[in-house]
Each structure stands twice: as structure tokens, then as C-alpha cells.
Amino acid sequence: MDHDLRLEGYAFTLRPVQLEDAAFIVDLRTSDPQRVRYLHAVPRDAELQRQWLARYFERAGDYYWVLERRHGHGEPEGLVGIYDLDPDRRCAVWGRWVLRPGSLAAPECALLIYRAAFELLQLDMVYSLTAADNVRVLSFHESCGLQRGETLPNYFDLDSGPQHAVKHICTKESWPAIRERLAEQAQRIAARIAPPK
């Protein structure tokens, strides 16, 4: 969806994805073998990615962002999205979450995407679906205080084969406690990576 929703955090910002991000998206989604095994495959072709983005811009209920560093040259740090928005149930999926290897942005990226869900889009619930073998991401979601939901058998058809999906849920009622936990982590990380004065 072609949107103009932007969020600024302590060390990072979310800005809408643009056609010019195609090469960055392809590189980020294909360059790390450890990460690729948990992602839907994308061709190593920036033109095909631009075509996908052109179709994405026309889809309602689909929001895609680039996560950038606030300081310096606004270098892209990752990608994240909210999609499959159900306006009647006021819920959506958040995903397409990919960060640069070694990034410290996970807590603040999660904080920003939940802010987008609850403060900008006024959703009642947002959930993520994670490959059951992706132990690091599952652990991250649970450390944030998210409610673990159902496991969906063979939900993902990945290059590494079929994968069960684990659902983690954040409701607008649980959001304040999760926001506090993520904000504390994000502030600590922002202080560590802040440019020298």
C-alpha cells in the first residue's frame, strides 16, 4: 500500500518502502544463509523486486517499512511490515521482519511496529507467525511478554522445506506492558550506539 506513515524512535526510524529500495530488499533477504532459511525465497533480481513493490503499492491493508538509523546518513538497518489487515476484526499480521546481521535494532523495531499497529492504525490485535525452528526469534517474542498462540502445522513452504509456524499475539490490552519493556531495551541500546558528541 502506498502510504506515508512514519515513526521515529530513540535510535531508529520507520519510513515507507520505496521503489528505490528494491536492491536493498533483495540484498538483505538473500545475503545471509542463516536468515534465508526462514524466509520465503526471493529472486536475486532488483527489477523483479521493483515489480513486486509496484503491486504492493496497490494492495490495501498492507504496510511495508524500511528501518533506518536516525543518526549519520540514515543507513537502512532492516525491513518490517504489517499486512493482511482485517478492518472488521481490527487485527493484522506483522512480519517481513529482516535486520542486518549483527543489528541491535530488534527491540526498537518491534516497539515501532507495535506503535504503528496500536497508535497509528488503531488495531485491537496484531500477531506474528514465526518458523518453529527459528529459536532466536521465538525467544525474542517471548522475552517481550507476548502471548504464545497456536502452532500451525506446515504453514510455511520454504526452501529448507515445510515449516510449522508459531503464532505470538499482542493485544491492545497487553500493549502497555510490552511497550514499557521494549522501550527500556531500546533506550539502553540507543545510548550504546549514539554517535559521540
Residue 2 inside a domain? The answer is no
pLDDT in tens, 48-78: 999 999 999 999 999 999 999 998 778 999 9
Residue 48 inside a domain? The answer is yes
For the cut 80, the answer to whether the pLDDT of residue 173 exceeds it is: yes
Joined together, the cell numbers standing for residue 134 give 527459528
Residue 128 inside a domain? The answer is yes
Mean pLDDT (the chain, rounded)? 95
Q: State how far the Cα of 181 lies from the Cα of 132, in Å rounded to an integer.
A: 24
- Looking at the chain, the whole-number percentage of residues with pLDDT higher than 90 is 87
Res. 36 pLDDT band, cuts 50 70 90: confident
Neighbours of 176 (CB within 10 A): 10
Q: State how far the Cα of 154 lies from the Cα of 40, in Å rounded to an integer.
A: 14
Q: Which domain holds residue 172?
A: 7-193
Give the CA dihedral 36, 39, 41, 43, nearest 10 degrees. Answer: -70
For the cut 70, the answer to whether the pLDDT of residue 43 exceeds it is: yes
Q: State how far the Cα of 65 lies from the Cα of 53, in Å rounded to an integer.
A: 12
Residue 152 inside a domain? The answer is yes
Question: Which pLDDT score is estimated for 34?
Answer: 79
For the cut 80, the answer to whether the pLDDT of residue 98 exceeds it is: yes
- Looking at the chain, the whole-number percentage of residues with pLDDT higher than 70 is 99
CATH number of the domain enclosing 117: 3.40.630.30
Residue 11 inside a domain? The answer is yes
Residue 107 inside a domain? The answer is yes
Question: Which pLDDT score is estimated for 158?
Answer: 86
Residue 106 inside a domain? The answer is yes
> Please, is 175 exposed, middle or buried when counting C-beta atoms within 10 Å of its C-beta (0-12, 13-18, 19+)?
buried
Residues β-bridged to residue 171? 125
The predicted model gives 104-114 an average pLDDT of 98
For the cut 90, the answer to whether the pLDDT of residue 188 exceeds it is: yes
Question: Which pLDDT score is estimated for 185?
Answer: 97
Q: Determine contact, residues 91/33, Cβ cutoff 8 Å.
A: no
For the cut 80, the answer to whether the pLDDT of residue 196 exceeds it is: no
The predicted model gives 28-49 an average pLDDT of 89
The continuous run of DSSP H or E covering 27 comes out as helix 22-30
Residues 6+ apart with CB under 8 A from 108: 9, 10, 11, 12, 182, 185, 186, 189, 190
Residue type, 119: E
Question: Which pLDDT score is estimated for 197?
Answer: 67
Res. 90 pLDDT band, cuts 50 70 90: very high
What's the number of domains the chain is made of? 1
Question: Which pLDDT score is estimated for 159?
Answer: 79
